[in-house]
Amino acid sequence: MRISKGALLVVIAVLVPFVVEFRTALSWFGIELSILESLVLGGMAVLAVVLWAVWPPNGNAEAELSGSS
C-alpha cells in the first residue's frame, strides 16, 4: 500500500464532489453526461485510485511514511 487504508477512504470521499461537479462543468462545453455515464466515470476514477494505492511502490521510502498515523 502506498497510503494507509484510512487515507485511501479519504481520497475516495474527496473524489465524490469532483465527479459530481465535473458533470456540471462539462455541460458548459456542451457535453451532457447521463447519470449512468457519470457513475461509470466515477467508478473508473475510484478504481484508478485504488489501483494506484495498492500497487507496490518501487521500493521508495515514501511507503513507510504513510502507514503511521
Partner 1 sequence: MEVTRMSSTAGQTYLDQFPAEAKVIKAAFWSSFMALAIGGLLGLVQALHRTDVLRFIDSADYYTVLTAHGVLLAITFTIFFLVGIFTWAVTTSLDRGVVDIRFTWAWYIMMVVGTILVGVSILGGVVDAIPTNADVLFTFYAPLQAHPAFYVGLVLFVVGSWLAGADWFRTWWAWRKENPDERIPLPTFMALTTTLFWYLCTLGVALSILVFLLPWSLGIVDSVNPLLTRTLFWYFGHAVVYFWLMPAYMMWYIMLPKLSGGKLFSDPLARVVFVLFLLLSTPVGIHHQYLDPGIAEGYKFIAMTNTMFLLLPSLLTAFTVVASMEHGARQRGGTGYLGWLKALPWRDPVFTGMALAGLMFAAAGFSGMINAGMNINYLVHNTWWVVGHFHLTVGTAVALTFMAAAYWFIPQVTGKELWSRRLALGQVLVWFVGMTFMSNAMHRSGLFGMPRRTAEPQYQGFDFEPAVGTVGEINAQVALGAVLLTVALAMFLLNMVMTSFNDDSDSLPANTYAGTLSGPEDSPAVLDNLKLWTAIAVVLVIVGYTLPLASIVDSGGLFGPDIGGFQLAIETDPALVLESVREVMP
The binding site for partner 1 (CB under 8 A) comprises 3-7, 9-10, 13-14, 16-17, 20-21, 23-24, 27, 32, 35, 62, 65-66, 68-69
Q: Give the nearest distance from C-beta 27 to partner 1 in angstroms.
A: 4
Q: Which three cell numbers stand for residue 5?
A: 487504508
Q: Give the nearest distance from C-beta 40 to partner 1 in angstroms.
A: 16
Q: Which three cell numbers stand for residue 28?
A: 458548459
Q: What is the dihedral of CA 34, 37, 16, 28, to 10 degrees?
A: -50
> Which residue lies nearer to partner 1 by CB, 32 or 59?
32
> Which residue lies nearer to partner 1 by CB, 34 or 47?
34
Q: How does DSSP classify residue 57?
A: P
Give the count of beta carbons closer than 10 Å to the beta carbon of residue 8. 19
